[in-house]
């Protein structure tokens, strides 16, 4: 069973719209890279696998130290995307006292 602290972190991440959109974009990039790698014939190499890595920087720099394997690349990208989503959810939520700040402002006429 998962630790309650880990469960609460992922609950905050799942409730954040910014984190969900980020994970959706990374998933889309991974699907695109997979289709490009396995379904499209290239005369030379393709840079499609670079874009998911760029989208998950700085945590995806772990891919530099893992051996050259498609499965390990995918694992590193998924872990980096989840880590970045947690950070986006944490820093994207309003601080105490700011939750209703935008709702209470009135446009000056």
Mean predicted confidence (pLDDT) in 64-80: 88
- Position 68 scores a pLDDT of 82
Model confidence at 103, pLDDT cuts 50, 70, 90, reads low
d(CA 5, CA 8): 5
19 in Cβ contact with 89 (< 8 Å): yes
> The pTM is what?
0.77
Spell out the domain ranges in the chain: 17-91
Contact 53, 60 (CB under 8 A): yes
């Amino acid at each position: 069973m998962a630790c309650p602290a880990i469960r609460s972190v992922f609950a905050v991440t799942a409730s954040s719209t910014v984190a969900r959109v980020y994970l959706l974009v990374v998933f889309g990039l991974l699907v695109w890279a997979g289709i490009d790698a396995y379904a499209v014939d290239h005369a030379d190499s393709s840079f499609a696998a670079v874009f998911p890595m760029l989208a998950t920087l700085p945590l995806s720099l772990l891919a530099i130290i893992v051996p050259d394997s498609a499965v390990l690349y995918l694992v590193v990208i998924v872990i980096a995307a989840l880590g970045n989503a947690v950070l986006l959810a944490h820093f994207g939520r309003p601080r105490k006292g700011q939750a209703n700040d935008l709702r209470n402002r009135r446009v000056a006429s």
